[in-house]
């Protein structure tokens, strides 16, 4: 799970850096999709550690919202 989080984090940083440097925001829905996957992996990792605290559930809820925003972004283009 840690490898997945690191890989998704690198992908999100790469997409966001590209968008900021080139000022081309057409790839923003992809960045949001990977950000949602990163947040979901973080939330599931917290729940797997038997630390069923607020942060794990909040990460999962935020990832669902980010997936919704990403899907809306794909449909608008």
Q: What is the pLDDT of residue 9?
A: 93
Residues 23, 1: Cα–Cα separation, whole Å: 32
60-72 average pLDDT score: 93
pTM for this entry:
0.86
- The pair of structure tokens assigned to 64 is 């669902």
| pLDDT tens, residue by residue, 14-51 | 999 999 999 988 888 999 999 999 999 999 988 888 77
Residue 77 has pLDDT above 70, yes or no: no
Q: What is the pLDDT of residue 39?
A: 94
Residue 58 has pLDDT above 80, yes or no: yes
Classified as helix, coil or strand, 1 is coil
Domain boundaries along the sequence of the chain:
2-76
């Amino acid at each position: 799970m840690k490898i997945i989080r690191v890989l998704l984090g690198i992908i999100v940083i790469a997409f966001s850096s590209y968008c900021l440097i080139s000022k081309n925001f057409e790839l923003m829905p992809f960045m949001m999709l990977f950000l949602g996957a990163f947040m979901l992996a973080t939330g599931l990792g917290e729940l797997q550690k038997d630390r069923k605290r607020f942060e794990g559930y909040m990460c999962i809820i935020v990832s669902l919202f980010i997936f919704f925003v990403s899907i809306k972004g794909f449909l608008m283009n």
